[in-house]
Amino acid sequence: MTTETAIKAENLSLTFQTNDGPVHALKDVSLDINKGDFVSFIGPSGCGKTTFLRCMADLEEPTGGSITVNGVSAREARKSRAYGYVFQHAGLYPWRTIGKNVRLPLEIMGYPKEDQDERIKRVLELVDLAGFEKKFPWQLSGGMQQRASIARALAFDADILLMDEPFGALDEIVRDHLNEQLLQLWAKTEKTIAFVTHSIPEAVYLSTKIVVMSPRPGRISDVIENPLPKDRPLDIRDTQEFLDVAHRVREGLRAGHSYD
Amino acid sequence: MTKTALSVLTVLAAIVVIWYLAVAPMNIRVALDQADRAGETVTPETPVERREVSSWTLMAKNSSHIAAGYDLDRPRLPTPTQVGKELWKTTGAMVLKGRTWSKRSLIYHGWVTLQSTFWGFLLGTTIGIIGAIAIVQSRVIEMSVMPWAIISQAVPIVALAPMIIVLSSQVGIEGRGFPKALISSYLCFFPVLVGMVKGLRSPTGEQLDLLKTYSASGVQRFLKLRLPASLPYLFTSLKIGIAAALVGAIVGELPTGAISGLGARILIGDQFGTPLAIWSALFAAAILAGVLVTLIDRTQHVLLRKMGMRS
Domain identity same for B61 and B174: no
Domain identity same for B24 and B153: no
Contact flag B308-A104 (C-beta cutoff 8 Å): no
pLDDT at B1: 67
Domain identity same for B27 and B118: no
pLDDT tens for B147-200 read 999 998 888 888 888 888 888 888 888 777 888 899 999 999 999 999 999 999
What residue type is assigned to position A226 of the chain?
N
Kindly state whether residue B154 falls inside one of the protein's structural domains.
Answer: yes
Domain identity same for B266 and B186: yes
Kindly state whether residue B229 falls inside one of the protein's structural domains.
Answer: yes
Report the relative pairing of strands A64-69 and A72-73 from DSSP bridges. Answer: antiparallel
Examine the pLDDT at B13 and tell me if it is beyond 70.
yes
Q: What is the mean pLDDT of chain B?
A: 89
Kindly state whether residue B234 falls inside one of the protein's structural domains.
Answer: yes
Average pLDDT of span B222-245:
94
Examine the pLDDT at B210 and tell me if it is beyond 80.
yes
- Is B224 touching A (CB cutoff 8 A)? yes
Question: Per residue of chain A (260 residues), what is the pLDDT tens digit?
Answer: 456 889 999 999 999 888 888 888 999 999 999 999 999 999 988 888 999 999 999 999 999 999 999 989 999 999 999 999 999 888 899 999 999 999 999 999 999 999 999 999 999 988 889 999 999 999 999 889 999 999 999 898 888 999 999 888 788 888 888 898 889 889 888 899 999 998 999 999 999 999 999 888 888 988 999 888 888 888 888 899 899 999 999 988 887 765 44
Domain identity same for B181 and B302: yes
- Is A134 touching B (CB cutoff 8 A)? no
Please give the residue range of the domain that contains residue B242. Answer: 106-306
pLDDT at B223: 94
Domain identity same for B252 and B149: yes
- Kindly report the nearest CA distance between residue A243 and chain B, in angstroms: 35
Kindly state whether residue B64 falls inside one of the protein's structural domains.
Answer: yes
Domain boundary (B77, B95, B122) is at B77
Kindly state whether residue B83 falls inside one of the protein's structural domains.
Answer: no
Q: Write the CA distances from B212 to A82, B135, B207, integer angstroms.
A: 12, 21, 9
pLDDT at B247: 93
Examine the pLDDT at B272 and tell me if it is beyond 90.
no
Question: How many domains would you assign to chain B?
Answer: 2
Strand order from edge to edge, sheet including A209-214: A83-86, A160-164, A192-197, A38-42, A209-214, A219-225
CA distance A171 to B243: 48
Pick the more confident residue, B64 or A258. B64
Nearest to A89 among B206, B228, B309 (CB): B206
pLDDT at A2: 52
Mutate to test the interface with B, among A83, A86, A93, A103 (most CBs of B within 10 A): A93
Nearest to A105 among B207, B214, B310 (CB): B214
Contact flag B228-A84 (C-beta cutoff 8 Å): no
Examine the pLDDT at B256 and tell me if it is beyond 70.
no
Q: Write the CA distances from A157 to A111, A123, A189, B7, B220, integer angstroms.
A: 11, 12, 10, 59, 20
Domain identity same for B227 and B296: yes
pLDDT at A258: 53
Domain identity same for B184 and B271: yes
Looking at chain B, the whole-number percentage of residues with pLDDT higher than 70 is 98
Domain identity same for B61 and B127: no
Kindly state whether residue B182 falls inside one of the protein's structural domains.
Answer: yes
Q: Which of B21, B44, B47, B24 is nearest to B34 (CA)?
A: B47
Domain identity same for B57 and B121: no
Domain identity same for B148 and B210: yes
- Is B228 touching A (CB cutoff 8 A)? yes
pLDDT at A257: 65
Contact flag A138-B308 (C-beta cutoff 8 Å): yes
Domain identity same for B37 and B174: no
Q: Is B268 helix (H, G, I), strand (E, B) or coil?
A: helix
Examine the pLDDT at B241 and tell me if it is beyond 70.
yes
pLDDT at A1: 44
Pick the more confident residue, B43 or B267. B267
Kindly state whether residue B85 falls inside one of the protein's structural domains.
Answer: no
- Helical packing angle, A172-189 and A113-126, nearest 10°: 130
A97 interaction partners in chain B (CB closer than 8 Å):
308
A104 interaction partners in chain B (CB closer than 8 Å):
214, 224
Kindly state whether residue B86 falls inside one of the protein's structural domains.
Answer: no
Q: Is B46 helix (H, G, I), strand (E, B) or coil?
A: coil
